[in-house]
Amino acid sequence: MKQLTILGSTGSIGVSTLEIVAAHPDRFRIIGLTAGRNIELLAAQIKQFSPRIVAVALKEDVPRLERLCSGMDVKIVGGVEGLIETATAEETQMVVAAIVGAAGLVPTAAAICAGKDIALANKEILVTAGHLFMEMISTHGVKLYPVDSEHSAIFQSLEGHRNEDISKIILTASGGPFLNTPLDQLSGVTVRDALNHPNWSMGKKITIDSATMMNKGLEVIEAHWLFNAPMEKIDINIHPQSILHSMVEYVDGCVIAQLGTPDMKAPIAYALSYPERVATGIQPLDLTTVSGLTFFKPDLEKFRCLSLAYRAIQEGESMPAVMNAANEIAVEAFLEGRIGFLQIAQIIESTMDAHQAHDLHSIEEVLHADQWGRTTAREISKRLTN
């Protein structure tokens, strides 16, 4: 029986994780859950999974959740301290990091320091503080399993192979809803157009990141840290059908890939049950019914966020954290209708231009760079819209 805590249980990844848990009550037990503002869904999850401890992001939401759960045997806590207490709950063996954005940094770091294995969906953690997290993982001797579908595919394609035999890691990307939209039409696309992802149903922030392709930029940085791979060994192939989830090329010219119906329950289940596999209910892939799998290079001029991500990692240390913060602010502004689609990349680039990269020695310093990036991006966004 594996005892789990889910950070971000009300999100897209959190809900899919709980579906796997519900399907395998003999294998997994929920110890802790945390959520942002969706208190009703969290209350329903508490009733279904009986966690011992639950945290909400804001302390002011605690009384409402307590009312919804009155008579139930659950400890309800709030704020960052509450998230940390839940992330480090004693019985928990594995923490599923599924908060969106840099907000996941502190509770996930606390979980690692408390010796919990991590199933990582929250890619922004490795983008903002990859070197610190990989160091913490090794210092505390915990295991880190990727949940992101591409990274799970790479993880599976690497099994049984030597690191020094890898010649390239190739991440696939669907290309998002604007793959075939000409650059000169991108300025006019709406929030609705951008939220209409062709293959995946996900939270809003990552769906916009997929439309700008910043998601793939974040994933290249994520792969760089997870697999200790230099950036020049990580390539991107656009693969609009999202059937082949990523691949590894070896020095002998062989390429090993993982394929499957696009459904996040597959990589989530593998992270939870590794090295075993469990049923997910996903329709198995029948390649005789799938025709025309295609692969091509991304257009870096059209998807500027991709080039920005490569630039951020080249400039190093604090620059990816600042880029990530600016992206979070710009995506929020776009979702709220305050800026146009192409201004997302513009805000990120201007924020990066205004930043001088410096070393980061602690999570506090990462949070400081993150705050600086947010403040600067907000100012730039205001200037753009005035």
Quick check: bond before 275 cis, omega within 30?
Answer: yes
State the pairing for strand pair 2-7/166-173: unpaired
Q: What is the 3-state secondary structure (H, E, C) of 358-384?
A: CCCCCHHHHHHHHHHHHHHHHHHHHHH
CB of 36 to ligand NAD, least distance (A): 3
CB of 90 to Mg ion, least distance (A): 32
Partner from Mg ion, ligand NAD, none contacting 313, C-beta within 5 to 8 A by type: none
Contact yes or no for 105/363 (Cβ under 8 A): yes
Contact residues for 66 (Cβ-Cβ < 8 A; gap 6+)? 76
Cβ distance to ligand NAD smaller for residue 119 or 313: 119
Token pair 């880190």 is at which residue? 144
Cβ distance to Mg ion smaller for residue 92 or 207: 207
Point out which span in 5-13, 135-143, 229-237, 350-358 binds ligand NAD (CB under 6 A): 5-13
Is 8 a binder of ligand NAD (CB under 6 A)?
Answer: yes
Rounded CA separation 189/131 (Å): 37
Point out which span in 22-30, 33-41, 173-181, 348-356 binds ligand NAD (CB under 6 A): 33-41
Residue from 314, 383, 372 nearest 346 by CA: 383
Is 102 a binder of ligand NAD (CB under 6 A)?
Answer: no
State the pairing for strand pair 255-259/244-250: antiparallel
Is 36 a binder of ligand NAD (CB under 6 A)?
Answer: yes
Is 262 a binder of ligand NAD (CB under 6 A)?
Answer: no
Partner from ligand NAD, Mg ion, none contacting 310, C-beta within 5 to 8 A by type: none
User: Which residues of this chain interact with Mg ion, rule CB under 5 A?
Assistant: 148-150
Partner from ligand NAD, Mg ion, none contacting 76, C-beta within 5 to 8 A by type: none
Exactly one of 54, 119, 121, 166 binds ligand NAD (CB under 6 A); which one?
A: 121
Q: How far is CA 81 from CA 6, 11, 59, 89, 364, in A?
A: 16, 21, 10, 12, 15
Rounded CA separation 131/363 (Å): 11
Cβ distance to ligand NAD smaller for residue 99 or 186: 99
Rounded CA separation 238/211 (Å): 13
Is 98 a binder of ligand NAD (CB under 6 A)?
Answer: yes
Is 272 a binder of ligand NAD (CB under 6 A)?
Answer: no
Q: What are the counts of helices (DSSP H) followed by strands (DSSP E) for the chain? A: 16, 11
Exactly one of 206, 238, 272, 319 binds ligand NAD (CB under 6 A); which one?
A: 206
Residue 379, token pair as written in the block: 């100012």
Residues 159-198: x where in contact with ligand NAD by CB under 6 A, - otherwise, as a string? ----------------------------------------
The residue number with the shortest CB distance to ligand NAD is 11
Output phi, psi for 183, to 5 deg: -50, -40
Helix (H) or strand (E) holding 117, with range, is strand 117-120
Is 13 a binder of ligand NAD (CB under 6 A)?
Answer: yes
- Residues lying near ligand NAD in the complex (CB under 6 A) are found at 8-14, 35-36, 38, 57, 98-100, 103, 121-124, 148, 200, 202-203, 205-206, 264
